[in-house]
Structure 1
Amino acid sequence: MDSRRDFLQKLTFSAIGLPFLSLSGSTLTEAFYKQPYEGPVLRVAIMGLGSYGNRVAEAMQSCKRAKVTGVISGTPSKIKDWQSKYGIPAKNCYNYENFDRIKDNPDVDAVYVITPNSLHHNHVIRAARAGKHVICEKPMAVNAKEGQEMVDACNKANVKLLVGYRMHFEPKTLEVIRMRQAGELGKIMFFQGLSGFRIGDPTQWRLNKQLAGGGSLMDIGIYSINGARYMVGEDPVWVTAVETKTDEVKFKEGVDETIQFQLGFPGGAVASCLSTYNMGNLDRFFLNGQDGFAELQPATGYGPIKGRTHKGELTQPHYTHQTIQMDEMAGIILDGKKPVVPVDGEEGLKDLKIIDAIYLAAKTGKKVDLKL
């Protein structure tokens, strides 16, 4: 298995179509998809035409409020293929050297950065300076210092910075959040997040410290970090962590294989999480309250997500995650809509601060206090 994205794709069923049903906790409704839409559309240039860039573009063909209108890639053959498939004119195609010219292109409102982690910082700041809103894949950067600079650059340019947290719009996830907010689970006491798979090709960029910024924690583990926060409904105040490495050839210095980490929350809840590149079939969230529980398994795959609570099975409809994400993000950028769970740069920055603290805790063996 070559990547997390391959894992997520194979772990769960392929997403087919977009059910026209209401979404619990979301702004999208049955009427929205069934009725003709004539309002503003977010015009997006995709930067990075790899496997996930292709997945996003495919999903956006079902969007009503977002459309792919441009591409940015260092591979001319990929650009040519995308032009043919999505009807993108040559004037909306760029490479990494000349994409600053996008500043003068009225066909693009936002740039979706889907490049290796270490490139996000430069690409987001350049897009912001070009006056374009930015959507950045997670993790937003390789550390909190870079993340803060990205947030500052977007604020200075007066453009929005959003992060590709697709699970923040997923129906079953939103139902668990609704139940927790309504008090149906009682006082939250414990969260468990298991995120892992056995990574394949040892030459891929995800196992390159310079490109990935780390290992499993930067790739799959961030799901449990972010998930702990939106499931518990608080930001953690401390972290402890232990790293385990069994293959120092594949997982070189600075590339974590397995990290177990614990988070403490101000309300008294604790989280126990696992991030790994060397164990399969790990995609589970469990939230325990004094009056009930919620479990998602798979919790973060491409879908359908499956779940149950003390009240029974979760039956909310499956939506293609990237379709609903981009429609919702269009609403955030164009209308100033407020999502149930934030997806802005500040949200991404909090996860980066936690990642920095986890690495520090694993290195020192000490409890690290957090101030998010």
Structure 2
Amino acid sequence: MNTRRDFLQKMGASALMLQLSSLSTFANYSEKKDQPYQGRVLRVAIMGLGGYGTRVAEAMKACSKAKLVGVISGTPSKIKDWQLKYDIPAQNCYNYENFDEVKNNPDIDAIYVITPNALHHDQVIRVAKAGKHAICEKPMAVNAKQAQEMVAACKKANVKLLVGYRMHFEPRTLEVIRMRKAGEFGKVMFFQGQCGFKAGDPNQWRLNKALAGGGAMMDIGIYALNGARYMVGEEPVWITAQETKTDPVKFKEGVDETIQFQLGFPSGAIASCLSSYNINHLDRFFLSGDKGFAEMQPSTGYGPIKGRTHQGELNQPITTHQTEQMDQMAAIIFENKQPVVSVDGEEGLKDLKIIEAIYQAAKTGQKVKLPANVW
């Protein structure tokens, strides 16, 4: 007959094995990261030297497979500052008018476009025509038509088009995806994604439809949408949405303040998501299956990502998202590595097709169906 002492001893042994397993994971990860990289390094020029461009540049200091070697900006003073800070040679500095000349520069392999959304289309196509690989921030364009043209241009030029989906490389996110694929949650029934914050300066480009292509949905909402797709592991077949606007002065026509949207998937799973520029403390994912669950909060912020499942706390290594992203993208470009969740132009195109359907559903109040051949 089992006693309470036997039970506690077994529980203790299980906890010890789990702890040793976690330590082994950390050790293997550290060992892998400590091994000197001997392969080809991706030489990157950043286009758009704003806040996020700076974050990427700082993160790339720790990269082993990628290096910042050039800049493209319309502000001469920024170029000068970056030259000094990141030791960038003058011949690798361009402005928006002359960066086509990068085609004659063998010292740059790829250009990371980190400019307002409405500029991505033309800039990525110019990058492709210059024969350089393109990395583009999300959303990759302001509509699906533009995204399709970007994909076609890069294919024609035989260069890669990657999108800055940094969460696709985040270890704790990948662990939840692994568990879902392994059936550890059972049949997935429900996903909830909440992404939002209060937008500050009313004059910022993100609140200008001509530059942003929309509002919160184009910026923060894409995390909930993309998260729904990679957490559930399916593409939606129907969409409903509702828009709420409390400040039409700040959030002008065509700039959404808050959108709730719902997705239906072929398996019967459903997703309920919230995107807002007027609600703080929204950064949470929840996935529920008939055998378990995963909850992540923060789920998409710059870190650290935190989460738990029905099996316990997620304890995978904490990484700098942009460092991991750029190293992994170098492997995609030079080694044809296939990531767990795609970051190519077609992935960005899928999100834009769904965003267009979300806007349509919010405007009409009708359920929008997405046929299988839309993908």
TM-superposed CA distance for 1:38, in Å, is: 2.0
* Alpha-carbon RMSD: 1.4
Structure 2 residue runs without a partner (length 5+): 1-22
Aligned to 2:97: 97
Alignment-derived partner of residue 16 in structure 2: none
CA contact (8 A) 1:42 1:66 kept: yes
- State how 1:103-252 maps to structure 2 within 5 Å: 103-252=103-252
Structure 1 residue 291: deviation in Å? Answer: 0.2
Count of residue correspondences = 350
Structure 2 distance, partners of 1:32, 1:111, is 27
The answer to whether the 8 A contact 1:21-1:30 is kept is no
Please tell me whether residue 352 in structure 1 is matched to residue 315 in structure 2: no
Q: Which residue of structure 2 aligns with residue 328 of structure 1?
A: 328
Post-superposition CA distance 1:56-98 (Å, at most 9, x none): 0100000000000110000001000110011111100000000
Find the counterpart in structure 1 of residue 57 from structure 2: 57
Letter in 1 for 2:308: R
| C-alpha deviation, 1:21, in angstroms | 8.9
C-alpha displacement at 1:317, in angstroms? 1.2
Classify 1:23/1:289 alpha carbon distance in 2 versus 1 (closer, same or farther; 3 Å).
Answer: farther
* Cα distance in structure 2, aligned partners of 1:23 and 1:38: 23
Per the alignment, in what secondary structure is the counterpart of residue 220 of structure 2? helix
Q: What residue ranges of structure 1 are gaps of 5+ in the alignment?
A: 1-19
CA offset at residue 23 of structure 1? 7.8
1:269 is displaced (CA, Å) by: 0.3
- More RCO (CA 8 Å, sep 6+): 1
Aligned position for 1:3: none
How far residue 32 of structure 1 moved from its aligned partner, in angstroms, is 3.4
Post-superposition offset of 1:30: 2.9
Partner residue in 1 for 2:87: 87
Structure 1 residue 176: deviation in Å?
Answer: 0.3
1:280-319 alignment, distance < 5 Å: 280-319=280-319
Decide whether aligned partners of structure 1 residues 268 and 126 sit closer, same or farther in structure 2, where only a CA change above 3 A counts. Answer: same
Corresponding residue of 2:11 = none
Higher helix share: 2
The percent identity for this pair of structures is 75
Contact 1:23 1:171 in 2 (8 A): no
Shift of 1:124: 0.4
Secondary structure (helix, strand or coil) at the match of 2:44 reads: strand
SS in 1 for 2:308: strand
Q: For 2:115 and 2:101, locate their aligned partners in 1 and report how far apart those are by CA, in whole Å.
A: 19
Aligned equivalents of 1:168 and 1:349: distance in 2?
16
1:35 to partner: Cα distance = 1.8
Q: Which amino acid aligns with 1:251?
A: F
Q: Cα distance, 1:335 vs. partner?
A: 0.4
One-letter identity of the residue aligned with 1:59:
A
Q: Aligned partners of 1:297 and 1:47: how far apart in 2?
A: 31
Q: Judge conservation of contact 1:190–1:269 (CA < 8 Å) in 2.
A: yes
Deviation at 1:143, TM superposition (A): 0.5
CA distance in 2, matches of 1:23, 1:354: 37
Report the TM-score when normalising by structure 2: 0.92
Q: Which amino acid in the other structure matches residue 133 of structure 1? A: H
User: Larger C-alpha radius of gyration, 1 or 2?
Assistant: 2
| Contact residue 21 and residue 317 of structure 1 kept, 8 A | no
Per the alignment, do residues 292 and 52 of structure 1 end up closer, same or farther by CA in structure 2, a change over 3 Å counting?
same
**In the alignment, residue 304 of structure 2 is paired with which amino acid?**
P
CA distance 1:72–1:22, change in 2 (3 Å): farther
